[in-house]
């Protein structure tokens, strides 16, 4: 049944047991756990998302990033069993999809996505979706009324399962230059067209992390070399984007035992590695660098100027160096400000929910932020720790929640 039809149908329907807001990696994984553990049946559960297809934002940003392999191991998939993705890859009909690289058998993006589709279909997760974007949550006779711009829904339990992945971070100099008409694009912007333009002059990628390097390698291989990467720091090689010790009890127990949330925030900041690259991506970049197809400049861009001929002049702090390019890509990540989203501010105020000095929610150990309002992903990081945003963070928060409900 089309999602829009479902929405209309549901509007007059009974109150939901669970309404998950956000149908990306986190919301979809949690819906799988709730159904698999019989904590709700598919009539009582809905996943609200502004996009018709599950994982729409994940697919857009991963496709735009030029990545071939996930950074996480094959045990981190959309399904509950940690062997599910490898089993899927072993099926004879999937032989061509089976593509892994070390360490920990990291799956190809195409394999991960095919397995995700398979999991969604096998468990009917596409049939429990509602089209919409929550803008407000209020009390309603012991339940919650979740409003979208068009309508509203009643639910006993609500889960906030969205992150910053719709908010690309633009450096100040880029904001100004774009207002002046400079052709500067953010790879994570919904407006970004990943199709590579014909014969761009001196393409430049801004950023020093995995996406910047992958994008530069992709452009260079597509024949628009040499590509200049402008990074604020030397390359930082790390297998994962946070310390994997926090995935399990070894480090997580101590993190959760910490009652001072400023300390927890400090641990998260220290144990995450933004702007880092796994070894395989660094090596790929090094090969192309030797061939003169990519180059790396360590500098801060301080200003950019749009030229009448369509090129952009990038002024770098170091020695006043100037780079001229007709195709500037920002690989500068996301704003880390989800707690400032108007709907989160509204909920915090309406229900008097606890927040840390850093502005993020303080949920209980089973992810309940307060009054049958639960969190996962970025909004749960003060409880889930450094890998909160990742696929494994979705599993860890779902396990905590499910264990408490049972």
By CB under 6 A, name the binding residues for ligand FAD.
21-27, 48-51, 56-58, 61-62, 65, 67, 70-72, 76, 133-134, 161-163, 165-166, 211, 343, 377, 389-392
- Of 228 and 242, which CB lies nearer to ligand FAD in the complex structure? 242
Burial category of 191 from C-beta neighbours within 10 Å (exposed 0-12, middle 13-18, buried 19 and up): exposed
- Is residue 153 classed as helix, strand or coil in its secondary structure? strand
In the complex, least distance from residue 96 CB atom to ligand FAD, rounded to whole angstroms? 21
Closest CA to 316 of 304, 328, 299: 299
Strands 184-186 and 328-330, by their bridges, are: parallel
In the complex, least distance from residue 316 CB atom to ligand FAD, rounded to whole angstroms? 26
- Of 165 and 311, which CB lies nearer to ligand FAD in the complex structure? 165
In the complex, least distance from residue 130 CB atom to ligand FAD, rounded to whole angstroms? 9
In the complex, least distance from residue 158 CB atom to ligand FAD, rounded to whole angstroms? 10
- Of 48 and 184, which CB lies nearer to ligand FAD in the complex structure? 48
C-alpha angle with apex 91: 85 to 97, nearest 5 degrees?
65
Give the side-chain half-sphere CA count within 13 A for 65.
23
For residues 239 and 282, is the Cβ–Cβ distance under 8 A? Answer: no
In the complex, least distance from residue 26 CB atom to ligand FAD, rounded to whole angstroms? 3
- Of 7 and 390, which CB lies nearer to ligand FAD in the complex structure? 390
> Cα(181)–Cα(123) distance, rounded to whole angstroms?
47
Q: Examine residue 226 and say whether the peptide bond preceding it is cis (omega within 30 degrees of 0).
A: yes
- Of 161 and 174, which CB lies nearer to ligand FAD in the complex structure? 161
In the complex, least distance from residue 384 CB atom to ligand FAD, rounded to whole angstroms? 11
> Cα(50)–Cα(148) distance, rounded to whole angstroms?
10
- Of 32 and 312, which CB lies nearer to ligand FAD in the complex structure? 32
């Amino acid at each position: 049944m089309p999602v829009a039809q479902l929405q209309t149908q549901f509007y007059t329907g009974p109150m939901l047991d669970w309404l998950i807001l956000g149908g990306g990696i986190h919301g979809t994984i949690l819906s799988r756990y709730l159904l698999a553990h019989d904590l709700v049946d598919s009539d009582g559960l809905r996943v609200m998302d502004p996009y018709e297809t599950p994982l729409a934002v994940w697919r857009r940003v991963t496709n735009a990033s030029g990545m071939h392999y996930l950074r996480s191991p094959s045990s981190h998939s959309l399904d509950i069993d940690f062997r599910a993705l490898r089993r899927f890859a072993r099926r004879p009909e999937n032989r061509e999809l089976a593509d892994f690289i070390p360490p920990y058998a990291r799956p190809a993006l195409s394999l991960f996505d095919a397995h995700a589709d398979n999991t969604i279909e096998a468990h009917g997760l596409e049939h429990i979706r509602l089209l919409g974007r929550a803008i407000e949550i209020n009390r309603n006779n012991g339940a919650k009324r979740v409003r979208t711009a068009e309508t509203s829904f009643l639910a006993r339990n609500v889960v906030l399962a969205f992150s910053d992945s719709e908010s690309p971070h633009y450096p100040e100099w880029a904001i100004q230059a774009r207002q002046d008409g400079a052709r500067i694009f953010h790879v994570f912007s919904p407006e970004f067209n990943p199709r590579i333009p014909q014969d761009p002059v001196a393409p430049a990628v801004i950023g020093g992390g995995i996406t910047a390097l992958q994008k530069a390698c992709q452009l260079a291989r597509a024949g628009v070399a040499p590509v200049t990467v402008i990074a604020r720091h030397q390359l930082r090689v790390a297998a994962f984007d946070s310390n994997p010790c926090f995935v399990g009890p070894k480090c997580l127990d101590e993190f959760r035992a910490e009652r001072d949330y400023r300390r927890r925030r400090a641990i998260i900041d220290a144990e995450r590695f933004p702007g880092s690259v796994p070894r395989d991506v660094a090596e790929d970049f090094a090969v192309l660098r030797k061939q003169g197809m990519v180059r790396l400049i360590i500098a801060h861009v301080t200003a950019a100027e749009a030229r009448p001929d369509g090129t952009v002049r990038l002024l770098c702090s170091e020695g006043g160096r100037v780079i001229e390019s007709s195709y500037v890509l920002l690989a500068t990540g996301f704003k880390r400000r989800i707690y400032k989203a108007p709907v989160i501010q509204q909920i915090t105020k309406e229900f008097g929910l606890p927040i840390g000095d850093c502005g993020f929610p303080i949920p209980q150990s089973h992810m309940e932020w307060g009054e049958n309002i639960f969190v996962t992903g970025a909004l749960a990081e003060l409880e889930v720790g450094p890998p909160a945003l990742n696929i494994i963070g979705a599993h860890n928060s779902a396990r905590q929640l499910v264990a408490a409900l049972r």
